Chain A
């Protein structure tokens, strides 16, 4: 999905560039908080790993293969900030050292494969793992997070294309093509991500950033029988069982939203709502100005583009969930984590 020069117009390229630069700046600070002085070598090695796995072709259907994006995998293994940095560095190196990806399209590429993919993947991952604990949950969450990150990236690409793409293609066609293929690729990405995370969890659970809350503390036994508990060992003690009661709220809420937006919406009444009805009765409905985005396929809950209302509903609800959740998490993160960097540093003194 490396966009070359000339694909997007100047406005989109520039704005995406600004978004990418801002994202990378934020993540530089975040990664240093997560990794401290280990940032350069660790992120460098992980970036090399991402570059390597992006070369992994996996079969998706007879004869076709997709390849890994890696954003979700990176986020779950090393945390979102470092993940965005790694993907950004991979894209920069690919553009300047391997001539892959346009120099003027770097903003778009970093925004899509770095910021969007990691944000969606990490947001979904955290949503699930905050409600359900345990290794199984981490693996399942990895699958869903990676699965969703791919079509999400494709959707944002489609959005950018609709705003400033240089080719005159029906947006519906683009959306359908991109969405469909990338859903398939998403399945592959989800599978690979889940199994990879599960492999790492089995061998070195302390290396999985997303699972750092479920790793047990460290106990040392001396020859004379004395026992020392090492402070600041990787991970915190397993949380108490009382948190379970709240756990089902979030996934139940998401399921209910999906059901309502996706299925029940078909049965919504087509009669005008209160305001419209009054406007019709009193005769001022004609004064309504056209909405600036009224021509877009998703306008009027999908009517304009011929998109079924259920899909439009799911897209809208999903977008709101991701945007709101992401915002919440981004803001909330500040106070919460002292960071595994501090934990690990007790173990390996600097």
Chain B
């Protein structure tokens, strides 16, 4: 869910995948996700082939399987939900190992599990091979509103600082013997949140002052140029392209 993301996914490296311009990778992964989601759930083999495609990318990028699997743990809440669906689903039921399961529910669970898992794996590979700053530049190239990109840039820059401050406040609380156990403790946590907001906001103000002091007048200067050659687009396009081929092929086959 929203918790436990402080560890960044980026793994420095110098592979073919790392070297691709960020905007190509963004489009490639988004395209791949679209193809996956558009695939009818009955075509098991298609999902298997998608997984193989991702494994190939992971190998090219020298990202170990354990790394990907560990980071897919974020999926857990929805895995739990997906597993529960066959039990609480409606419609025609069947029995398996003594348990009464909904047929439609089983299909739905498979659908969610397969697509969510492939989606997360693709996102992990994207984040692992793309430096955060380059990812933002890529987003800017793809015409994402510049203000949005700048906000994201500041957010990423100061995320560690703020998480650090939060951790320090927690350590200070616990050093004085406090652990949150029930609803009565909520106000204590909330007061820390209030203090954290003030610190974050004031830092934001100081950053703005520092920007003003160096002549900022409202538009951020564009410092680096990331342009992509067509062959790089082609290289990146191979992932969604192959997935699309699988999809169309399966469609033609059935």
CB within 8 Å of B: which residues of A?
A: 1-7, 10, 13, 24-25, 28, 31-32, 36-49, 51-60, 62, 67-68, 73, 77, 85-86, 88-90, 92-100, 102-104, 166-170, 173, 187-188, 191-200, 203-204, 207, 348, 350
Would you call B212 and A4 a contact (CB within 8 A)? no
Is B238 an interface residue, CB under 8 A from the partner?
no
Interface string of B144-174 (1 = CB under 8 A from A): 0101101111111111011100100000000
Q: How far is the CB of A52 from chain B (nearest CB, A)?
A: 5
Q: Are B163 and A52 in contact (CB under 8 A)?
A: yes
In the complex formed, the residue of A with least CB distance to B199 is A49
Q: For the complex, give the distance between the alpha carbons of A38 and B217 in Å.
A: 10
**Interface residues contributed by chain B, number (CB under 8 Å):** 95
Q: Is B183 an interface residue (CB 8 A)?
A: yes
Shortest distance from the beta carbon of B10 to any chain A beta carbon, whole Å: 8
Identify which of B105, B127, B153, B189 contacts A56 (C-beta below 8 A).
B189
Q: Mark B93-118, 1 if CB is under 8 A from A, else 0.
A: 00000000010110011011111101
Partner pick for B120 among A48, A99, A204, CB 8 A cutoff: A99
Per a CB cutoff under 8 Å, which of B119, B182, B185, B201 touches A5?
B119
Q: Once the chains are docked, how many angstroms separate the CA of A37 from the CA of B219?
A: 8
Task: Looking at the assembled complex, report how far the CB atom of A121 sits from the nearest CB atom of chain B, in whole angstroms.
Answer: 16
A residues near B124, Cβ cutoff 8 Å: 99
Min distance, Cβ B32 to any Cβ of chain A, angstroms: 9
28 A-B interface contacts by CB (under 8 A): A2-B2, A5-B33, A7-B78, A40-B151, A42-B201, A45-B162, A49-B162, A49-B197, A49-B200, A51-B2, A55-B163, A57-B3, A59-B181, A59-B182, A59-B183, A98-B127, A99-B71, A99-B123, A100-B2, A100-B74, A104-B37, A168-B89, A194-B190, A195-B187, A196-B191, A199-B191, A200-B194, A200-B197
Knowing A6-B111, A37-B217, the reply to whether A60 touches B183 (Cβ < 8 A) is: yes
Q: Are A42 and B147 in contact (CB under 8 A)?
A: no
List the B side residues contacting A59 at CB < 8 Å.
180-183, 185-186
Distance (Å) between the CB of A50 and the closest chain B CB?
Answer: 9
Query: Counting CB contacts under 8 A, is B203 at the interface?
Result: yes
What is the CA–CA distance of A274 and B148 in the complex, to the nearest angstrom? 55
Q: Is B24 part of the contact surface with A, judged by Cβ < 8 Å?
A: no
Which of A92, A166, A192 has the most chain B CB atoms closer than 10 A to its own CB?
Answer: A166
B38 interface residue, CB < 8 Å from A?
Answer: yes
Residues of B within 8 A of A28 (CB): 145, 147-148
Q: Inside 8 A of B82's CB, which chain A residues have their CB?
A: 167
The reply to whether B2 and A54 form a contact with Cβ atoms under 8 Å apart is yes
Contacts of B88 in A (CB 8 A): 169, 173
Q: Given contacts A32-B147, A49-B162, are A97 and B132 in contact (CB under 8 A)?
A: yes
Task: Determine the distance from Cα of A195 to Cα of B188 in the docked complex, in whole angstroms.
Answer: 9
> Are B112 and A44 in touch, CB under 8 angstroms?
no
Residue in B116, B205, B207 whose CB lies within 8 Å of A102? B116
- Out of B74, B102, B155, B181, name the residue touching A93 (CB < 8 Å): B155
Interface centre among B4, B111, B159, B185 (most CB of A within 10 A): B159
Contact status B36-A192, CB under 8 Å:
no
Closest to B116 in A: A4
State which residues 16-55 of B face A: CB under 8 Å. Answer: 26, 29-30, 33-34, 36-38
Which chain B positions have C-beta within 8 A of A36? 218
Give A25's nearest chain B residue, CB to CB. B145
A140 to B34, CA, bound (A): 44
- Closest A residue to B160 by beta carbon equals A48
CB atoms of B200 and A45 under 8 A apart: yes
Q: Which residues of B contact A169 (CB under 8 A)?
A: 85, 88-90, 105
Question: What CA separation (Å) do A37 and B3 show in the bound complex?
Answer: 31
For residue B111, give the distance in angstroms from its CB to the closest CB of chain A. 5
Could you say which of A41, A173, A192, A194 contacts B211, with CB atoms under 8 Å apart? A41
Contact A4 B207 (CB under 8 A): no
Is A40 in contact with B150, judged by CB distance below 8 angstroms?
yes
- Give min CB distance, A42 to chain B, whole Å: 4
Given contacts A6-B114, A77-B201, A102-B33, 6 further A-B contacts (CB under 8 A): A6-B111, A44-B151, A48-B162, A51-B155, A92-B152, A102-B37
Verify B193–A53 contact, CB threshold 8 A.
yes
Residue of A nearest to B88 (CB): A169
